[in-house]
């Protein structure tokens, strides 16, 4: 969930035109730069929490939807889970695959999840906020439900709008620093904040070559902030029960003050 940190950023390698014909239907929401993503999103308590949740759920086969560069996926695999990892971002998947070839990496979206197949579907680091319309969000929740075996677990995080994370982001006027892995040259990632259009927060990321000041990319990004009630409702509508909303790393319930909320719903064991 990367709370306290600025929002993860768009892809310097984002070339939608390069998707193969069977992948053109994939809607790639711009929300990360594979080149620098792992460097500016270090391991956090949220990552430990997802590992703890999976352990508690006692699952085996896990789908990591919106896995990105596999930043967390590879740790799930190391913990002994069987992983299927899906993301529409072709370059992110390519990078992820180079980290661990034993994981099944798929360029795709929730429509690629096999029905009745997984013990858990996870979406980490606020993937839930990239689905900007009610329709696209409800589709993902329904696809996750269909993909789970009866008794299966759906777990994901989202920033809590009542905690107003953007107020902190907007105070930080310094760039993130990263290194271009191929040249070793320093990069700066600058963020400009436009603000809300409805419940969608709009901002712009610029990746610059630190030494020359050359702009490598300038990208608009959008993140939706849904209330806990809206998310709870969408889970219930899809059929999930025993819905939990955790607000800290000790499994305590979320409140208005929680920066981020981790949702956990279960597919009824009577589902077919």
Ligand X SMILES: C[S@@+](CC[C@H](N)C(=O)[O-])C[C@H]1O[C@@H](n2cnc3c(N)ncnc32)[C@H](O)[C@@H]1O
| Comparison of 17 and 184: residue with beta carbon closer to ligand X | 17
Adjacency order of strands within the sheet including 176-179: 176-179, 186-197, 200-209, 215-224
| Shortest distance in whole angstroms from residue 21 CB to ligand X | 18
Contact residue for ligand X among 10, 14, 33, 68 (CB under 6 A): 68
Nearest Cα neighbor of 33 from 51, 14, 55, 20 is: 14
Tell me the pairing of strands 82-87 and 61-65: parallel
Cβ neighbours of residue 106 closer than 8 Å, sequence gap 6 or more: 84, 85, 86, 87, 93, 112
Tell which one of 6, 71, 153, 232 touches ligand X (CB under 6 A): 71
Q: What is the largest CA-CA distance in the chain?
A: 61
Which is closer to ligand X, CB of 72 or CB of 147?
Answer: 72
Q: Taking CB under 6 A as the rule, does residue 27 contact ligand X?
A: yes
State the nearest-atom distance from the C-beta of 248 to ligand X, in Å.
19
Quote the least distance from Cβ 71 to ligand X, whole Å: 4
Tell me if 67 contacts ligand X by CB under 6 A: yes
What is the size of the binding site for ligand X (CB under 6 A)?
A: 24
Cβ neighbours, 10 Å, residue 215: 12
206 in Cβ contact with 215 (< 8 Å): yes
C-beta of 126 vs 234, nearer to ligand X: 126
- Nearest Cα to Cα of residue 142 among 120, 106, 111: 111
The verdict on 191 binding ligand X (CB under 6 A) reads no
Calpha distance 161→256 (Å, rounded): 9
Q: Which of 29, 90, 91, 157 is in the footprint of ligand X by CB under 6 A?
A: 29
Looking at 10, 12, 32, 148, which residue binds ligand X (CB under 6 A)?
Answer: 32
26 vs 210, beta carbon nearer ligand X: 26
40 binds ligand X (CB under 6 A): no
Nearest approach in angstroms of CB 31 to ligand X is: 4
Q: How would you classify residue 239: left for phi > 0, otherwise alpha for psi between -120 and 50, otherwise beta? A: left
Q: Which of positions 76-135 make contact with ligand X (CB under 6 A)?
A: 87-89, 92, 109-110, 124-127, 130
Q: What is the CA radius of gyration of the chain?
A: 18
Residue 147 in the binding site for ligand X (CB under 6 A): no
What DSSP element (H or E) covers 24? none
Kindly list the residues in this chain that would bind ligand X in the complex (CB under 6 A).
8, 27-29, 31-32, 41, 65-68, 71-72, 87-89, 92, 109-110, 124-127, 130
């Amino acid at each position: 969930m990367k709370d306290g940190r600025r929002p993860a950023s768009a892809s310097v390698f984002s070339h939608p035109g390069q998707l193969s014909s069977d992948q053109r239907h994939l809607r790639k929401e711009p929300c990360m730069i594979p080149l620098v993503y792992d460097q500016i999103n270090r391991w956090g308590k949220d990552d430990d929490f997802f590992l703890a949740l999976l352990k508690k759920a006692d699952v085996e086969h896990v789908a990591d939807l919106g896995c990105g560069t596999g930043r967390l996926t590879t740790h799930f695999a190391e913990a002994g889970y069987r992983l299927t990892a899906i993301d529409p971002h072709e370059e992110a998947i390519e990078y992820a695959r180079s980290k661990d070839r034993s994981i099944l990496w798929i360029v795709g979206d929730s429509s690629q999840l096999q029905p009745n197949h997984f013990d858990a579907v996870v979406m980490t680091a606020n993937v839930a906020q990239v689905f900007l319309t009610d329709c696209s969000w409800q589709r993902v929740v329904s696809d996750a439900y269909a993909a789970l075996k009866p008794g299966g677990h759906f777990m994901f995080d989202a920033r809590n709008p009542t905690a107003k994370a953007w107020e902190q982001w907007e105070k930080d006027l310094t760039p993130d620093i990263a290194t271009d892995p191929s040249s070793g040259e320093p990069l700066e990632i600058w963020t400009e904040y436009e603000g809300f259009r409805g419940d969608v927060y709009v901002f712009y990321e610029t990746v610059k070559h630190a030494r020359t000041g050359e702009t490598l990319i300038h990208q608009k990004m959008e993140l939706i902030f849904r209330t806990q009630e809206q998310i709870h409702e969408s889970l219930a509508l899809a059929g999930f029960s025993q819905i939990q909303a955790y607000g800290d790393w000790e499994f305590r319930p979320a409140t208005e003050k929680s920066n981020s909320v981790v949702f956990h719903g279960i597919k009824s064991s009577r589902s077919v």
